[in-house]
Amino acid sequence: MSLLERDGSKKIEISSLQYDGIQKCLTELTQKTRATALLLSDINGQLIAQNGDTRQINTSVLSALAASDFAATSEMAKIVGEKARFRLLFHEGETNNVYLSNVGENHFLVIVFATSVTLGVIRVYTKKAVETLLEIVNNSSDADNGKEILNTEFNLHLNDALDSIFKK
Amino acid sequence: MFINWALQEINLKIVYYGPGMSGKTTNLEYIHSKLDSSVAGDLVSLKTKEDRTIFFDFLQLDVGRIKGKRPKFNLYTVPGQVFYASSRKIILKGVDGIVFVADSQKDRMDSNIETLLDLENNLSEEGMDIKVFPWVIQYNKRDLTGIESIDILQGELNRYKVPYFESVAVNGDGVFNTLKAIINSVILKAQKEL
Ligand SMILES: Nc1nc2c(ncn2[C@@H]2O[C@H](COP(=O)(O)OP(=O)(O)OP(=O)(O)O)[C@@H](O)[C@H]2O)c(=O)[nH]1
Ligand SMILES: [Mg+2]
C-alpha cells in the first residue's frame, strides 16, 4: 500500500476493502471502550480513518498535531539515548484524555475519551485493535479499479474550481 | 500522496519552505482569511510569543468533489530559523510539492541560498531529488525598497528553472498564483504516476 516514486516521494493507497476492515475494527473499538472519537493516521499526519463522534473535533488538524507530537517525542527519545521510540503517549485533561498508540512503524491511533473512562480499558482493547489494524494496513490487497482518478478532464475542472474559489 | 479509494479522496501535502521571516506564515494567513470556511479549515499555528513559527502552520484546503473525486491539499509551513532544523525535517516527510518563499531583500540573499541548500539536503536525506521534484519559487516582499532584482534572484536561486512568482504576501499579491501553480505541478506529477 506504499509505493516509492521516481523522485523518492511516497504514494500510499488504501483500498475499499482495507478501508472497510479498518472501519469495522474502529467501530468495535469505539463500542468496547466507549471512547469519544478514534483516528487512524499515517506517521506523517495523514488522516486515514475516523470513528465515533467527531463532530466537535477538527480531525485533520488533530491528526497533524498528533503526528508532530510523536515525531517530537521520538527525537527527544533519541537525544536522551533511548533506542526505540516511545510506543504510546498519554495526555490527561480535565474532561478529556488523549491516548496515542503506535500501529507498527508507519501508523498510529488517536483515542479521545472522557475522563470517566478508565485508561486500563482503553489500553487493553487498543492493544488488540492494533494487531488487527496492523494486519490490514500491511496487507496490500488488490487496489481498486478505475485508476484514472486524475485525467485531463479532471485537471480542467480542478482549475475552474480553483479559479472560482480564489476569486476575491 | 495518500489515496483513499473507498472515499475517492486524494490528499496531497504542500510545504512552504524558506528562510526565517520570509513570509511563509503570511501566505497561509492570507489564504485562510480569503477562503470560505467550507474550503479552508482551521489555521493551526504553533508559534512563539513573538509570532515566529516554532514547529509548523497547518491549513487544509478541501475544494469539494471534482468529477466524483475529492482532492484535498494539506498546506504546511516550516520554521525558517536556523536552529529549528529538526522540525523542518519532520515536516518534510511525505511532502508532494514545495513552495520556496524567498525574501527579496538584498541582505537576505545569503539566508535564501543557505535555506535552499538546507532544503536540497533534507530532501535528499529522504531519498527525494529536487531536480525532478515539483516545486516553485515565490519572491516575496516586492513592496520593499532595497530589494534584489528578479534577474539576480533568478540567477542565484533558480538553477533548476522552476516556475517563479513575485509577491507581496502581506496584501495577498501573488499568493493565489503561487498556490495554483504548485497545486498544478503536484497534480500533474500525480497523474504521471497513477
Ligand atoms: N513588507 C512586507 N512584509 C511582509 C511581506 N510578507 C510578510 N511580511 C512580514 O514579514 C514578517 C514575517 O512574516 P512571517 O510570515 O511570519 O514569516 P515566516 O516565513 O513564517 O517566518 P518564520 O516562521 O520565522 O520562519 C511579518 O511581520 C510579516 O508581516 C511582504 O510581502 N511585504
Ligand atoms: Mg512562520
Domain layout of chain B by residue ranges: 2-193
B180 touching A (Cβ < 8 Å): yes
Contacts of A162 in chain B (CB under 8 A): 63, 180, 183
Quick one: pLDDT band at residue A4, thresholds 50, 70, 90?
low
- State the DSSP string of B75-104: EEE---SGGGHHHHHHHHTT--EEEEEEE-
Place of cell 488522516: A47
- Residue pair A25/A129 in contact (Cβ under 8 Å)? The answer is yes
Nearest CB to A44 within list B72, B93, B123: B93
Chain A nearest C-alpha distance from B172 (Å): 10
Lining ligand 1 with CB less than 6 A are B 18, 20-26, 51-53, 77, 79-81, 140-141, 143-144, 168-170
CATH code for B2-193? Answer: 3.40.50.300
- Encode burial over A99-109: b for 16+ CB neighbours within 10 A, e otherwise: bbbbbeebbbb
Place of cell 493551526: B44
Q: pLDDT tens digits, residue range A100-154? A: 999 998 899 999 999 999 899 999 999 999 999 999 998 875 555 455 667 778 8
Interchain pair A12, B1: CB under 8 A: yes
Interface confidence, given as ipTM, is 0.84
**Closest ligand 1 atom to B16 CA:** 19
Fold of A13-147: Beta-Lactamase (3.30.450)
pLDDT along chain B (194 residues), means of 10: 90 97 98 94 90 92 92 96 89 95 98 97 93 96 98 98 98 97 92 74
Interchain pair B123, A149: CB under 8 A: no
Cα A93 to middle of ligand 1, angstroms = 35
CA distances from B25 to A4, B2, B34, B60 (A): 30, 24, 14, 14
Write down the pLDDT at residue B103. 98
How far, in Å, CA of B85 to CA of A136, rounded? 35
Q: Say which residues have a Cβ less than 8 Å from residue A96's Cβ, sequence separation at least 6.
A: A36, A112, A113, A114, A115
pTM of the model: 0.92
Q: pLDDT tens digits, residue range A63-113? A: 999 998 888 888 888 888 887 767 788 898 999 999 999 999 889 999 999
